[in-house]
A and B are shown apart, each in its own frame.
Chain A
Amino acid sequence: MTSELQRERLAYKRSRSRRSTLVALLSTAVFAVAVGVTIARAPGWPRVRQSFFNVEIAWRSLPAILEGLWLNLRVLVVCGALILVLALGVATLRTLRSPVWFPLRALATVYVDLFRGLPLIILLYLVGFGLPALRLTGVPNDFVVLGGVALVLAYTAYVAEVFRAGIESIHPSQVAAARSLGLGPRQTMRLVVLPQAVRRVMPALLNDFVALQKDCGLISVLGAVDAVRAAQIEQARSFNFTPYVVAGLLFVLLAVPTARFADALGRRVERRQGGR
């Protein structure tokens, strides 16, 4: 049973929050109108609208760009999965202390240093154009595959470092507790350290995922017909930049769910760990 006092307080809080919503709506409307009017009255606006926001051209170029985006999405999913697995492997190698693993550990370190520092565009050229030029048997000559390989090589190095930071942020007492229960080093890593580390670096991982979403568009430099390439073709045909804007907006739309997902994940962890 709530007291009269509490009921009165709740009513007050509700009226306050209604008022806040109203104020926010009003101020947003005023702001939007002011910005809209300013832009529409700017002298260059008709030309900007013509070459960046041409609805007709946007509509005409959309199918080709969407088809390209479908390729980007497939590359994203396959590369994303490969990167996660490989990066976890590299990170684990880098945290092994036993001398047997020294060569692998050293290799992992060299790999990370090298591919984290190398500009992605150079890597794309080397893998995409350089490898096929060697005419070795077994080297694929599909630009999509080669572009994907370059992306995986570069991003695995980044993501491995994110995982390693996570692993090293787990307090040694957690390892001590696991070892004292009789768990071996591998069981300790798999059951105690990694689950906590992955949870801790989730925001950083999602951030890298958004970056990967965008960088999937770079396979277009090899000639793969993805969303960026499709937009380029449409732009050349119409001498109008609207196709680029369309492709750009689609990439932005793609990034929004990831951001919302990150928020939801954060809330879920909060609810489960801090809630009652």
Chain B
Amino acid sequence: MTEPVLSVRGVVKRYGGNTVLDGVSLDVREHEVVTVIGSSGSGKSTLLRCVNLLEELDDGQVLLDGVDVSDPRVNADLARRGMGIVFQAFNLFPHMSVLDNVTLAPRVVHAVPRGEAERNALDLLERVGLADRAGSYPEQLSGGQQQRVAIARALAYSPRLLLLDEITSALDPELVGEVLALVRELAEAGRTILMATHEMGFARQVADRVVFLDGGRLVESGPPDQVLGEPVHPRTRQFLRRIIDAGRL
């Protein structure tokens, strides 16, 4: 059995006295798409930020390709180069054009010449349907368009692991389908993806595995049909019933 791309082991994260992650363990293997579900405030974003080393862990480890990157002796900037993250709220750089947003990391972190970086960026923007907006500034784009630029930006340096934090929560249904297709395409191209989402239909269609986060713990994990169709844990059932009642499954 090969080493998983990402291995989260007993991660604990507290904010003040509030324990948001309480010993979370999770593996993501190569080419695998894992979705994290859970109610609002359950710690999905926090988990992704911990994996991306944007938060300091209070306990546990994050391993990338078997290397413990949560070790304070490891250079977090280098470790992050293997990961791309798209945030829940759009975090494009408002003072840069769409094209500059996408080419920034390749140019300054990976030393790709500008011409080549821009050609790649335009290809990526084409794929997310925004090639004609390359010269626009983020504020001139709709929320959905901004999010697609953010995805293109995260893909621009071919990260080994893609972290997606509710990337569809601000998109209208038409665009959700488009982004869904994009994510599926990425999965088929061999990407390894860990994503948080509120969209159960999305999780069901795209994920190889679904994990349910509740009160800072992973209470259930398995194939989407099992976790979403025949959940065993009472908390999962309760959560899914609420979602079904809200008409979102």
- Using CB atoms and an 8 Å cutoff, list the residues of chain A in contact with chain B: 173-174, 176-184, 187, 191-192, 195-196, 199, 272-276
User: Is residue B238 within 8 Å, beta carbon to beta carbon, of the partner chain?
Assistant: no
Q: Which of B163-217 contact A (CB under 8 A)?
A: none
Partner of B105, one of A176, A183, A195: A183
Among A176, A178, A182, A196, chain B packs the most CB atoms within 10 A around the CB of A182
Complex contacts, B95 vs chain A, CB 8 Å:
195-196, 199
Instruction: Give chain A's interface secondary structure class.
Output: helix
Q: Nearest Cβ distance between residue A172 and chain B, in whole angstroms?
A: 10
Q: Nearest Cβ distance between residue A34 and chain B, in whole angstroms?
A: 47
Residue of B at shortest CB range from A194?
B95
**A218 to B17 alpha-carbon distance, docked (Å):** 56
Q: Are B94 and A179 neighbours in the complex by a CB distance under 8 Å?
A: no
User: Is residue B104 within 8 Å, beta carbon to beta carbon, of the partner chain?
Assistant: yes
Complex contacts, A179 vs chain B, CB 8 Å:
54, 76-77, 80
Complex contacts, B77 vs chain A, CB 8 Å:
179, 182-184
Q: Are B139 and A274 neighbours in the complex by a CB distance under 8 Å?
A: yes
Q: Which of B52-106 contact A (CB under 8 A)?
A: 52, 54, 76-78, 80-81, 83-85, 87, 89, 91-95, 104-105
> A180-B85, A273-B139, A274-B139 given as contacts; is B80 within 8 A of A173 (CB)?
no
Q: Nearest Cβ distance between residue B6 and chain A, in whole angstroms?
A: 15
Q: Are B91 and A176 neighbours in the complex by a CB distance under 8 Å?
A: yes
Complex contacts, B105 vs chain A, CB 8 Å:
181-183
Q: Are B137 and A183 neighbours in the complex by a CB distance under 8 Å?
A: no
Q: Are A181 and B104 neighbours in the complex by a CB distance under 8 Å?
A: yes
> A174-B93, A191-B104 given as contacts; is B54 within 8 A of A180 (CB)?
yes
Complex contacts, B142 vs chain A, CB 8 Å:
none
Q: Nearest Cβ distance between residue B84 and chain A, in whole angstroms?
A: 8
Complex contacts, A180 vs chain B, CB 8 Å:
52, 54, 80, 83-85
Q: Are A176 and B109 neighbours in the complex by a CB distance under 8 Å?
A: no
Residue of A at shortest CB range from B80?
A182
Q: Are A276 and B140 neighbours in the complex by a CB distance under 8 Å?
A: yes
Q: Are A177 and B137 neighbours in the complex by a CB distance under 8 Å?
A: no
Q: Are A187 and B108 neighbours in the complex by a CB distance under 8 Å?
A: yes
Residue of B at shortest CB range from A199?
B95
Q: Give the size range of B's interface with the partner.
A: 20 to 34
- Using CB atoms and an 8 Å cutoff, list the residues of chain B in contact with chain A: 49, 52, 54, 76-78, 80-81, 83-85, 87, 89, 91-95, 104-105, 108-110, 137, 139-140, 153-154, 157
Complex contacts, B93 vs chain A, CB 8 Å:
174, 177-178, 192, 196
Among A177, A184, A199, A275, chain B packs the most CB atoms within 10 A around the CB of A177
- In the A-B complex, the 6 residue pairs with the smallest Cβ-Cβ separation, listed nearest first, are A177-B91, A181-B105, A182-B81, A182-B109, A180-B85, A273-B139
Q: Nearest Cβ distance between residue B122 and chain A, in whole angstroms?
A: 18
Q: Are B153 and A181 neighbours in the complex by a CB distance under 8 Å?
A: yes
Complex contacts, B109 vs chain A, CB 8 Å:
181-183, 187
Q: Nearest Cβ distance between residue B195 and chain A, in whole angstroms?
A: 15
Complex contacts, B110 vs chain A, CB 8 Å:
182
Complex contacts, A199 vs chain B, CB 8 Å:
95
Residue of B at shortest CB range from A173?
B91
The 8 sampled A-B contact pairs (Cβ below 8 Å) are: A180-B80, A180-B83, A181-B84, A181-B105, A182-B78, A182-B157, A183-B77, A183-B104
Residue of A at shortest CB range from B82?
A182
Complex contacts, B83 vs chain A, CB 8 Å:
180
15 more CB-based (< 8 A) A-B contacts, given A173-B87, A273-B139: A174-B93, A176-B49, A178-B93, A180-B52, A180-B54, A180-B80, A180-B84, A181-B153, A181-B154, A183-B108, A183-B109, A187-B109, A196-B95, A274-B139, A275-B140
Complex contacts, B140 vs chain A, CB 8 Å:
273, 275-276
Complex contacts, A181 vs chain B, CB 8 Å:
80, 84, 104-105, 109, 153-154, 157
Q: Are B137 and A191 neighbours in the complex by a CB distance under 8 Å?
A: no
**A173 to B95 alpha-carbon distance, docked (Å):** 14
**A109 to B95 alpha-carbon distance, docked (Å):** 29
Complex contacts, B84 vs chain A, CB 8 Å:
180-181
Q: Are B104 and A174 neighbours in the complex by a CB distance under 8 Å?
A: no
Q: Nearest Cβ distance between residue B77 and chain A, in whole angstroms?
A: 5
Complex contacts, B76 vs chain A, CB 8 Å:
179
**A195 to B49 alpha-carbon distance, docked (Å):** 25
Residue of A at shortest CB range from B49?
A176
